[in-house]
Amino acid sequence: MGRPPCCDKVGVKKGPWTPEEDLILVSYIQEHGPGNWRAVPTNTGLMRCNKSCRLRWTNYLRPGIKRGNFTEEEEKLIIHLQALLGNRWAAIASYLPERTDNDIKNYWNTHMKKKIKKLQAGDGSSMSGGLPSDQSVSKGRWERRLQTDIHMAKQALREALSLDKPNCQTELKSFTKPCQPATSSSTTKYASSTENISRWLQGWMKNPPKPGAAPSNSEYEQHSINNMVGTDSSSSEASASAANNDGSASPIVFESLLNVDSSTPEMSETSLFQGESKPISEAQVQLSLLETWLMDYLVQ
């Protein structure tokens, strides 16, 4: 007995959206802002379910979305992030504000998988644990959110410190693009996100989550460790297998795909992550190292 469909099958249109429908949806959102999706079909007269409206907006109509033609930089970043986060496309997408999770997911499934397979064929020694997409789904949702939140906080911090290089600024600016819907409510949703994050970060720093409140168990720690190790080209076989236990792709493959300089920060940190589960404080340190590495990658 599953949950009933989000919307009645009868009278609900499916399939590709017409330009007219797009226009109606965009006009409505310009006026009322995104959100309260349940009200959208009713108020617009669109014969679509609210979910469909939301998806259409977030994946296609939302301002600031870049479509197609992934740059080499984006590709590299996706590969890095996929190795770190697994198939958490929403989290990955949060690092590429101009791309949607759906877009990244599609790109990964069509282009990247192929590339990796090719590489596998060329170098049979690697990828003992299968493709990254085979990753276990055991990682909790809280972990995904944590990753995303950390990234958002980092973005806010970066903005505050003006650390970004030009192309990263472009990405951030997509949140505040002038082409956003003009209404205050809709722009607020996107344009003020960095402000909100800044505030959130400030609050977080004042009142850091208690260890007990967050999922501070060793599962997360171990995943962090595995993921970190999974990006380490110089790691031992044991390390690689640790990553692959999680279903992550062999670091060797990503290394060769990316041609990453072996002097990347995490290389020197790897030794920190060898061993059994650690207390939460150390897990936090690991996380910050992970983020440091990512930050360095982005700022490079």
Partner DNA sequence: AAATGCTCCAACCGCTCAGTG
Partner DNA sequence: TCACTGAGCGGTTGGAGCATT
Q: Which residues bind DNA (CB under 7 A)?
A: 2-3, 5-6, 13-17, 35-38, 48, 50-52, 54-56, 58-60, 67-68, 87-91, 101-103, 105-107, 109-111, 114, 133, 135, 137, 140-142, 144-145, 148
Q: Would you give the distance in Å from CA 109 to the centre of its chain? A: 15
CB of 196 to DNA, least distance (A): 13
Q: Buried b vs exposed e over 27-65: b needs ≥16 C-beta within 10 Å?
A: ebbbebbbeebeebbeebebebbbebbbbbbeeebbbee
Closer of 33 and 265 to DNA (Cβ): 33
CB of 85 to DNA, least distance (A): 8
CB of 88 to DNA, least distance (A): 3
DSSP collapsed to 3 states, 174-193: CCCCCCCCCCHHHHHHHHCH
CB of 161 to DNA, least distance (A): 25
DSSP element (H, E) containing 173: helix 166-173
Closer of 61 and 289 to DNA (Cβ): 61
Closer of 76 and 105 to DNA (Cβ): 105
CB of 66 to DNA, least distance (A): 11
Positive or negative, the CA dihedral 137, 139, 145, 151 is negative
CB of 1 to DNA, least distance (A): 9
Closer of 11 and 166 to DNA (Cβ): 11
Closer of 137 and 238 to DNA (Cβ): 137
Closer of 57 and 273 to DNA (Cβ): 57
Q: Which residues contact 270 (CB under 8 A, 6 or more apart)?
A: 228, 229, 232, 234, 235, 239
Place of tokens 């644990």: 129
